[in-house]
Amino acid sequence: MQHTYSYQSLYSFTSSVFTRIGCDEQAAALATKVLLSADMRGIDSHGIARLIGYVRLWEAGRINATPKICITHQTPSTAVVDGGSGLGLVVAPYAMNVAIEKAKIAGTGWVSVKNSNHFGIAGYHAMMALDHDMIGIAMTNASALVAPTFSIERMLGTNPIAVAIPAGNQPSFVADFATTTAANGKLEILQRKNSPTPEGWVQDQVGNSTTDAHALKKQGALLPLGSDREHGSHKGYALGSIVDIFSAVLSGASYGPWAPPFPAYVPMPPDMPGQGLGHFFGAMRIDAFRTSEEFKEHMDNWIARFRTATPAPGHEKVLIPGDPEREMEKIRTIEGIPIVDSVINELKELAEKLEVDFLS
Amino acid sequence: MQHTYSYQSLYSFTSSVFTRIGCDEQAAALATKVLLSADMRGIDSHGIARLIGYVRLWEAGRINATPKICITHQTPSTAVVDGGSGLGLVVAPYAMNVAIEKAKIAGTGWVSVKNSNHFGIAGYHAMMALDHDMIGIAMTNASALVAPTFSIERMLGTNPIAVAIPAGNQPSFVADFATTTAANGKLEILQRKNSPTPEGWVQDQVGNSTTDAHALKKQGALLPLGSDREHGSHKGYALGSIVDIFSAVLSGASYGPWAPPFPAYVPMPPDMPGQGLGHFFGAMRIDAFRTSEEFKEHMDNWIARFRTATPAPGHEKVLIPGDPEREMEKIRTIEGIPIVDSVINELKELAEKLEVDFLS
């Protein structure tokens, strides 16, 4: 059912693929690092399993492997970046670096990006700020799969938000989540197993709650965080909307139901109001607010206190955002990364088609 | 059961109360305007019903009616504001104005506030940015009533987030929501009616799901947005945590379970790690990203498109965040503001005690 590979093995294969489609060495290395950070952190839906999807977008002429990425507008604390239709995996770190450089001088930096593509996991980009003693924020819009509260039409992507906050002796606080009840990747896992979903994840094409994991293929929709009005789905809908507006309306990317779809076989929506996918990044220097030492001391105290919050019966302890992914990264660094057979087979075909050495 | 008053009548009474506890004319006017904006927008839990709560905090020596509000640290795009233990209703607009002034020069402004108190509705402060063609953001921490996922201990407040985004011909996008499944105010309404809550709003003292609206009085807890792990409560918990950290750890306010409680009869937590309640504000100049004209044209398009998203059967239309409150404000401007008898009686006692003229 699955096979385990070392990071080095996946790295070598993935960077060969990116090189083969025309990325220069540096871009291929960066795209590989960002993509595989998902596999390392246990977010398998966003890692090497998506590699073939990126290649298909390139084949369809929707990704430029040698993009001209540039700043089109800026102020001391803001910029708009044009991703030149490049891999989001490369455009996003560029834009996050712009935010970090702005923050060094202005205290904070905020960058909205247009004309980009899927950027991997939001958490990677937010975490870039940590080494600079900054808080990092990353979000992106995505293919429309989510129906707003009271609707049956797919208007928003799963539009994730990531926030990374440095601590002192404690590991960093890293939240990274889709603004839907369940991320699409979790749904895909149930689809592969032909298992039902819990109530409240998806609705069918007429808006009834369903547990059919294949509902999206039948014009159903993912539900915003909160699932239904009574449980706050209007809040999840608002959050997804804010991500869409910050990422795409602010930058000039394509928004809402017009966001370019990730699957290359899905035709581009007609009359797109902007260019490509949009992202939004923020970097806030800790010492633009209080000394880094003081802040970290209190973050350590915050984390330690939450870790010792009384657990509910049947649960061992309270987790801090980022704990499960960090734990997974430790394990996979030692034990390697398991890849399911269906993905291995796809990658094998990809290797043959592109004439690159397959995973060893 | 209730009586309806004009805005003018409530304004006159409320500002007399603030004046009577020592606010100067300008502060009393501002506090009144902020407080009553909740009643006007239909968020009855956060309006005049809370007036007596503020007075009790003043009586307990926890609110200074003539605070020295000042900036204690700043960079071109950031500041920390010390609220001088003042009314949050006055401290928050001061801090939001600092964010707006920063944004005029640096493109964006971000202000973290310590040593404050409850600030009314977050939406009021976020909306201050709209007149300046800016996006406004406001959040605050609050008394601990919410248990993190897997816990039975109250560690976070309902920690709301508000985001106000200007449009052109369309009304503004204004999201303002607690990071819990249900706001405490909604629970209070059910408590008054002795009605049960829907499943997923609260848990009892051992962490079981309950529909008892009085669960909080029995060591129960509100649940983070998402309700349980399967429905994404770890995301609501992360959101509430981010609000807590941005508002209080970044500024030097008291955080997590140490946030000062709003009810004056609840003793202050021992060993508080910071000063008072914390808030966080942001202002982003639209034209720090793209021209205001372009942005507003696309926001109008965004809003118009979402308004016409196919409604689910049984629902008339999709709402844009801010629609219900705007609708309510229109109605109450004409018809006045209904106040329930229990609140009227409390206000009558308050009037007698403070020797100010009661509502006419």
Query: A207-254: per-residue pLDDT in tens?
Result: 999 999 999 999 999 999 999 999 999 999 999 999 999 999 999 999
Question: Is the pTM of the predicted complex or chain greater than 0.90?
Answer: yes
DSSP helix/strand/coil, A260: coil
pLDDT of residue A14: 98
Minimum-distance CB partner of B177 among A107, A238, A305: A238
Which residues does chain A have within 8 Å of residue B234's beta carbon, measured at their own beta carbons? Answer: 177, 319, 321
Q: Do A78 and B151 touch (CB under 8 A)?
A: no
Tell me how close the Cα of A61 comes to any Cα of chain B, in angstroms. 26
pLDDT tens, position by position, B72-122: 999 999 999 999 999 999 999 999 999 999 999 999 999 999 999 999 999
**Strand order through the sheet with A202-203:** A209-210, A202-203, A221-222
pLDDT band at B219 (very low <50, low <70, confident <90, very high): very high
Rounded to the nearest integer, the mean pLDDT of chain A is: 97
User: By C-alpha distance, which of B132, B183, B140, B143 is closest to B263?
Assistant: B143
Q: How many Cβ pairs closer than 8 A exist between chain A and B? A: 266
Which residues lie closer than 8 Å to B329 by C-beta, 6 or more apart?
B40, B41, B42
Which residue carries 């405490």 as its tokens?
B184
Q: Do B106 and A106 touch (CB under 8 A)?
A: yes
Percentage above 90 pLDDT, chain A: 95
State mean pLDDT over A185-202: 91
Minimum-distance CB partner of B78 among A108, A294, A318: A108
**Which residue in chain B is spatially nearest to A255 when comparing CA positions?**
B302
pLDDT of residue B192: 82
Which residues does chain B have within 8 Å of residue A303's beta carbon, measured at their own beta carbons? Answer: none
Concatenate the DSSP letters of all residues of A74-93 into one string. EETTEEEEE-TT--HHHHHH
Tell me how close the Cα of A10 comes to any Cα of chain B, in angstroms. 30
pLDDT of residue B253: 98
Which residues does chain A have within 8 Å of residue B150's beta carbon, measured at their own beta carbons? Answer: 311-312, 315-319
Q: Do A106 and B77 touch (CB under 8 A)?
A: yes
Q: Do A226 and B226 touch (CB under 8 A)?
A: yes
Minimum-distance CB partner of B288 among A78, A246, A295: A78
- CATH value of B183-222 in 3.40.50.300, 3.30.60.50, 3.40.50.10860, 3.40.50.2300: 3.30.60.50
Tell me how close the Cα of B356 comes to any Cα of chain A, in angstroms. 40
Cβ atoms within 10 A of the Cβ of B253, count? 31
Q: Which residue has the higher pLDDT, B184 or A323?
A: A323
pLDDT of residue A257: 98
Whether B188 has a pLDDT exceeding 90, the answer reads: no
State mean pLDDT over B217-233: 97
Q: Do A319 and B273 touch (CB under 8 A)?
A: no
Which residues does chain A have within 8 Å of residue B299's beta carbon, measured at their own beta carbons? Answer: 245, 249
What pairs with residue A75 in β-bridges?
A78
H/E element holding B347? helix B341-354
Which residues does chain A have within 8 Å of residue B312's beta carbon, measured at their own beta carbons? Answer: 147, 150-152, 203, 206-207
pLDDT of residue B189: 84
Percentage above 70 pLDDT, chain A: 100
Which residues does chain A have within 8 Å of residue B207's beta carbon, measured at their own beta carbons? Answer: 312-313
pLDDT band at B64 (very low <50, low <70, confident <90, very high): very high
pLDDT of residue B193: 85
Which residues does chain B have within 8 Å of residue A173's beta carbon, measured at their own beta carbons? Answer: 241, 245
Q: Do B245 and A173 touch (CB under 8 A)?
A: yes
Whether B205 has a pLDDT exceeding 80, the answer reads: yes
State mean pLDDT over A267-293: 97
pLDDT band at B360 (very low <50, low <70, confident <90, very high): confident
Whether A281 has a pLDDT exceeding 80, the answer reads: yes
Which residues lie closer than 8 Å to B135 by C-beta, 6 or more apart?
A246, A250, B129, B163, B164, B165, B166, B282, B283, B284, B286
Rounded to the nearest integer, the mean pLDDT of chain B is: 97
pLDDT of residue A231: 97
Minimum-distance CB partner of B153 among A107, A110, A310: A310
To test the contact with chain B by mutation, choose from A113, A280, A302, A325 the residue with the greatest count of B C-beta atoms within 10 A, namely A302
pLDDT of residue A81: 98
Whether B222 has a pLDDT exceeding 80, the answer reads: yes
Which residue carries 């609110």 as its tokens?
B63
Minimum-distance CB partner of A150 among B105, B106, B319: B319
